[in-house]
């Protein structure tokens, strides 16, 4: 069973739309959570950390539900430049130490 699961998409939305991505994780001992953005053929870059109380950064809102082991990312007023792959990332501890587990990513295409 995949530890971090995301809907791969693609999500095709018009400019100005609101779009939401979901992510589930299997390890209830997971400690910290992130959304990274990856443009085509580029390295991942941190978009935002996800806190238990939920957090917002401009047009982006992240939510965490520990009971359901579920993380979400909401993008409001989508821009063409938001087109990218969004990676859900979970920091877990195991017998081998700490590990960052990435989902496969959700592809977003914002169209004019």
Task: Write out the residues near another protein by the rule CB under 8 A.
Answer: 4, 31-32, 42-46, 49, 87, 91, 93, 96-105
- The distance of closest approach from Cβ of residue 74 to another protein in the complex, given in angstroms and rounded to an integer, is 20
- The distance of closest approach from Cβ of residue 112 to another protein in the complex, given in angstroms and rounded to an integer, is 26
Phi, psi at 80, each rounded to 5° = -55, -35
In the complex with another protein, which residue's Cβ is closer, 32 or 69? 32
Tokens, residue 58: 């401009």
User: Half-sphere exposure of 110 toward its Cβ, with a 13 Å CA cutoff?
Assistant: 17
* Pick from 112, 104, 72, 108: nearest CA to 5: 104
In the complex with another protein, which residue's Cβ is closer, 72 or 91? 91
* Pick from 72, 74, 73, 84: nearest CA to 110: 84
In the complex with another protein, which residue's Cβ is closer, 75 or 87? 87
- The distance of closest approach from Cβ of residue 33 to another protein in the complex, given in angstroms and rounded to an integer, is 9
Q: Which residue has the tokens 């018009």?
A: 14
- The distance of closest approach from Cβ of residue 66 to another protein in the complex, given in angstroms and rounded to an integer, is 15
């Amino acid at each position: 069973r995949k530890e971090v699961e995301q809907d791969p998409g693609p999500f095709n939305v018009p400019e100005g739309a609101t779009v939401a991505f979901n992510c589930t994780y299997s390890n209830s001992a997971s400690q910290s959570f992130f959304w990274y953005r990856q443009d085509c053929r580029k390295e991942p870059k941190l978009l935002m950390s996800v806190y238990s109380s939920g957090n917002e950064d401009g047009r982006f809102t992240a939510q965490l539900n520990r009971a359901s082991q579920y993380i979400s990312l909401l993008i409001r007023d989508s821009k063409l430049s938001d087109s990218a792959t969004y990676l859900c990332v979970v920091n877990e501890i195991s017998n081998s130490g700490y590990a960052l587990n990435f989902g496969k990513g959700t592809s977003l295409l914002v169209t004019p």
